[in-house]
Every structure is written in structure tokens, then in C-alpha cells.
Amino acid sequence: MLTDEHFITRQLLQLNIVDGKMQYLFDEDGRRYLDAFGGIATVCCGHCHPDVVEAIVNQAKRIQHSTVLYLNHAIADFAEALASKMPGDLKVVFFTNSGTEANELALMIARLYTGCNDIISLRNGYHGNAAGTMGATAQSNWKFNVVQTGVHHALNPDPYRGAFGSDGEKYARDVQEIIEFGTTGRVAGFISEAIQGVGGIVELAPGYLPAAYNIVRKAGGLCIADEVQAGVARTGSHFWGFEGHGVIPDIVTMAKGIGNGIPIGAVVTTPEIAQVLTRRSYFNTFGGNPVSTAGGHAVLKVLEKEKLQENAFVVGSYLKEQLNKLKEKHDIIGDVRGKGFLLGAELVTDREKKTPAKAEISHVMNHMKDMGVLVGKGGFYGNVFRITPPLCFTKEDSDFFIDVMDIALSKL
């Protein structure tokens, strides 16, 4: 039997989007919507950004596919540009088609390099829906009943719902205990987002990642940063989410924003670690497709030319301030969190008990859609607004978004 929440969600899904321009989407009737979800934190520069479209079209006119068996400047130039954005010795780039594929490859590299099988990931984290990444994902909502082995899920350092509040080092002790009691004492690696996206825009408690990285490296493991949603300037303060925690990973995975909607993912690691893939023939037919890499390279140029990282910081900070003001007005908003244009607002029916407002959020989303604003939702309980617009979002867009959300919340 379908619930009222299912009916409302179905109404949202039935929206037929046919055109996009920068921060706007248009349905089949020509109605315009302000896009505050960015195709699930994917549209980075803006829908159909002319510079990105031009790069894609020009490359498609020359050659659409060649595979990495042959040299092609589009592939090499983008790899070089990506590597230049990385700290330390993270200089080798492998291209994939998606974030799931990137995380699958990263987990395999860690296992090959260390000779160990055990991976540690965080509860509430999401890393993909293939065999290995589904094991690393730690939410029952996204798991099918297939074999998932070799992964241990550590306590989530969630400042809002976690047992230790904002004390990151206390949460990190669980990583140490997992290694001591659940493994041989050696592990392959640790994978984590800097801010959990699908999990509800959960910021990791301060001090957690440096402590966890230190513990994992002492056990011989590699540290993997999943930057599929938090990376590519979205947090504003830094180009990569992990930089906000003061750590340098051994492997970085990315997708979504690096293509602005083009299907592309990547794994970046050090020359030493990358050597493990020379033991056999590793190949990805479409990884490094010239059309995708030409588009990705154009994205990096647009980010720099239009100062979109700075915009994400300035406007994102402003939008977060306005969300906090809404929180003061509406008791149903239990928490506002995130950085830049990776923001979350959690709805609860009781602030003290933090009871998830699952049905209410669907009502609010539908009212907002009717008023011309599209926004996402997530979190384990499905009660968190995921606000991840294109990085060209303006203060005026933010004001409109807040006004619409205010009205929609007032209708509850």
C-alpha cells in the first residue's frame, strides 16, 4: 500500500525536465525551476555552460572514442590539469566512468598494494552500488542481498546524532578497536567522504580524519578520500573536501562535478602505489574517453575563470546563514550543516528527541516544486534537505530559495 509520502515523492519524480541553462531547469511546458540540487551535486559550472558545451562539441567533431590504447591530447591534458590540483605526490590519474567505478578501483588498488583484504569505512557513508562499493556503503537503504565481505564499518563521527558530539578523536578510537579486534592487525585501507553526501550532508567531527588516518597508516593501510560529492570546489573553502581536514590521502576518488554532468570519474594516487596495476592488464574501455575528458578540462578552466570556488564560499556561507535564520523561525529544522554549496537542513518533529520528519519533508519539497524550486533530500531517515546547487548560484537565488522554503514550511 502506497503511503502519502510515496505519493508525494512520485509526484516529484514525474516532473519531465527537458532543458537546462546554468542554475535553471525547464519542464516540457516551458516552466522554469531554480535548481538547488544540481543533479545530485553533479552540475558544477551550470547546466549547458557554453564553454563546456563548446569543448564537448568540438571534440565530438574530431574523434568521439579512441580508448587509452592510443595517445590523445584531450585525455593527457585533462589528467595533467587534474594532477596539478592535487597536493603531495598524488600525480597518477586513472579515468573511469563514474564514482562507483572510481571507488571500486581505489579499493582494489589498496588491497593489491598492501596485500591485505580488510577495508574500514564509516557507518552512514555511501560509496557506490557495485559489489565492492556496496560493501563499503553502510546504509541498509542502499544494500542488496549479495555477498559483501572484507569491510568493517566504524562509528560515524556525526556531531549532531553521534555519541561523542564533536569530539573527533573519541570516534577514531573505534577505528583502532576494529583493527585490534576485527582484523589481523593489518588492513588494506580506510575510505571516507569529507562530508557525507547521500548520508545527509554530515560533516565529520573536527580532528577525526587526522586521527583515523594516523591509526590506519600505523596498521599498514592506505587512506582513500571519496571526493565524488565534496570535491571540485563545492565546499568553497578548498578545492577538495579533505583539505578542510588538514590531511593528505594516499588515493583520491572523484566523479560528478569533474564532468558537470558528463559521465566521468577518476582515481588519483602516487606513482609508487599506481605501480600495482602494472602486475596485470588493467583496462577500462570508456575511461578516458576524449569527449568526456575534453569536457572535464573545460570545467576546470571555467571554475578558475569565473572564480566559482570563491562564489561557492561567499554565497554558500550566506545561504547557510539564511538557513540558520529559518531554523530560528521553524522548530521543525533541527540542524543546519555543511560548507559552501554542500549544505544540509535536517527536519525533525521533536528537536529534543531528534525524531525524523520523514513525511513532512516530502510535503515541503512538493510545495517548493510548485513554487519553482527543486531541492534534494537524503540521510538515512530521508529527512534531510540536500542543497547542492550549481556553483554559479547567486545571493538573489539564495534569497528566493529561502523565501520559498519559508512559505513551504509555514504550510505544514
* Side-chain half-sphere exposure of 321, counting CA atoms within 13 A: 8
For residue 356, the SS3 value is strand
Q: Which residue has the cell 510548485?
A: 370
Q: Beta strand pairing status for 32-35 and 24-27?
A: antiparallel
The dihedrals phi and psi of 311, each to the nearest 5 degrees, come to: -65, -40
* pTM for the predicted model, two decimal places: 0.94
| φ and ψ of 65, to 5 deg | -155, 135
Q: Which residue has the cell 545530485?
A: 40
Alpha-carbon gap, residue 13 to 268, rounded angstroms? 35
Does residue 287 contact residue 104 with C-beta atoms inside 8 Å? no
**Phi, psi values for residue 190, rounded to 5°:** -135, 130
Instruction: Answer yes or no: is pLDDT of 2 > 50.
Output: no
Cα–Cα dist 136/198, whole Å: 13
Joined grid coordinates for residue 157: 563521527
The amino acid present at 311, given as its one-letter code, is N
pLDDT at site 4:
44
Average the pLDDT over each of 6-10, 56-60, 133-137, 188-192 and give the range with the smallest value: 6-10
Mean pLDDT of 391-401: 98
Length of the chain: 412
pLDDT band at 281 (very low <50, low <70, confident <90, very high): confident
Grid coordinates given for 353: 528527541
One-letter amino acid identity for 266? A
Q: Is 238 helix (H, G, I), strand (E, B) or coil?
A: coil
Q: Specify the range with the lowest mean pLDDT, choosing from 67-76, 269-278, 317-326.
A: 67-76
**Can you tell me the mean pLDDT for 373-387?**
97
**264 neighbors 255 (Cβ within 8 angstroms):** yes
